[in-house]
Amino acid sequence: MLSRILDLVESREQEVHRVLIVEDSKTATAHVQRALELHGIDSRAINTPLSLLQACADYRPHAILMDMYMPFCTGVEATRALRQIAEYQSIPVIYLSGETDIGQQVEALRLGGDQFLTKPANPIILSAVVKTKIDRYREMLRSGRHDGLTGLLNHTAAKEQLEHMLRRALPAGHLTVAMLDIDRFKSINDNYGHPVGDQVIRSLAWLLRGRLRNTDLVGRYGGEEFVVALGGVDAGQAMTLLDRIREDFSRLPHAHGHEALYASFSCGIAALPAYTTGSSLIEAADEALLQAKRDGRNRLVVANRHRPEH
């Protein structure tokens, strides 16, 4: 039953399509949003490309519908700026403009766009293009940056995201990193089989995604180990939050025939300002995790600063 629920949650997440509209005309924006809504596509609009980066960070769109000509900054200029940021290098940018000159359209695509549609766009074609671009984008991300079992960021992508969060947090902000490891996982695989072990891993991934914010980092670091990074959160706040998740996970039944299997995890925590590099945060959290295992498992330990970073 739990496995079917997890599949349903993941399928519903895949069905969501979020589109950011960058358009200075209120009339055009309303027309586009109505067309997208009719086809089940969620959207948010901004009327100036000057707020594009902040809107992307807040809304986390799967695609961007960009007008070509707006005050202060053109759509092409905004797209070129967006492409300078690693996180947005591949996000689909679809130009929706009254520009009919083929040369200008080709130039816009050459400088970072993925598709060009002229206004007024047919609502059916517009929605089909948006959904197709988003689906291909998701598949590209999933194959290169996401773990196949859980859908979480993989080891490499998680470390990259941590560095990005660290740059935003320094020099005076809060950032807490936690390393989580499912207790006695080898015994679960040996005694119940790998499909049950996979279900336990997916259950923890699902719980973390459901309880943490969209802006938080949740990654599968390897095997049964996960990495979490909480921006704007100190060690004490992280301890409280993650301990609740630990308790909830320990009460979560995992089906095995007619029986219910219960699992737990141990967790190590490290935070700014005691550790100020991504590698030192992960290493300190990992050492605290090992201490949690030594102390009896199913608990959290906060790292203490005790040696120079390297």
H or E element, residue 221 = strand 217-222
Beta bridge partners, 219, equal 153, 227
Residue 193 CA to residue 190 CA, distance in Å, equals: 6
Catalytic residue among 23, 224, 283, 287: 224
Residue 268 in contact with residue 178, Cβ under 8 Å?
A: yes
**Could you tell me where the DSSP H helices lie in 185-309?**
185-192, 194-211, 235-250, 278-294
- Known catalytic residue: 37? no
Output the six-digit token pair for 217.
Answer: 């980092």
Pairing relation of β-strands 300-302 and 259-262? unpaired
**d(C-alpha 307, C-alpha 66), whole Å:** 50
DSSP per-residue codes, 53-106? HHHHHHH--SEEEE-S--SSS-HHHHHHHHHTSGGGSSS-EEEEES---HHHHH
CB atoms within 10 A of CB 201: 23
Distance CA(83)–CA(112), nearest Å, equals 7
Nearest to 217 by CA among 278, 273, 275: 278
Catalytic positions, written as ranges: 224
